[in-house]
Amino acid sequence: MNEMKDKVVLITGATSGIGFATAMYLAKLGANVVGTARHETDLVTELKKVGARGALLLQADMTQEDEVRNMINETIEAFGQLDCAFNNAGIFIHEASLEEHLTDTWHDVITSNLTSIYLCMKYEINAMRRTEHGGVVINNASVVGHRGSAASGIAYTTAKHGVIGLTRQAAITYATSGIRINAISPGPTLTPATSPGIDLKDSASRAKIGQLNPTEQMVPIETIAATVAFLCSDQAKGINGHDIPIDGGQLAKL
């Protein structure tokens, strides 16, 4: 993974959860990391502490096209290129049943989880096509992008199905442009937000998780970050147009 040194990697939603863990992981590999958030944080300091060659935090709303365009322009202005992009930003809310669903909520969830990725890809790919070496785009989907779930909602599940379709279509569109486009589908992931109250040493907790994940474990957040780093690297140059489940075998279960 030494090849990540000096690469320019953009991560949306980089200040918490999967986005933060991935930003830190790539910083440790010596990448130049551009993170986005809606609010100012000390992300740059954290990234430089662990080894980022360069670091930049941009405040941007991924649902606003002008802000997405500016995000890419500022990345190019700062580092001269964009090698990899991890489109991670999104929202999850507990939604009502379909017949009781508020239409405004539908639009918010679809816009935040699907349209936002379309907008990011639009400008990321444009930037990557202007270079000789192309680039890599990775979209954060979900296991509910493959099938329904009682723990999800109608708009969120629909959006994540859309992310996978968008990934596949874009991948074949730009396959000859030196740009690889893939998605990841995490299962229930162990993050600072999800870990309180979960005791993986407790047999009852493991049994409950085991209804989804046959390993009876939540997916370690570092595993998600390592998979993104691998997909960014040339070691994964034969992988294009795929969604990679990171779920401990959840989708293999009937």
Instruction: Examine the residue annotation and report whether 156 is marked as an active-site residue of this protein.
Output: yes
Q: Give the bridge partners for 84, in sequence order.
A: 9, 136
* Active-site choice (25, 118, 123, 156): 156
Q: Which residues are catalytic?
A: 156
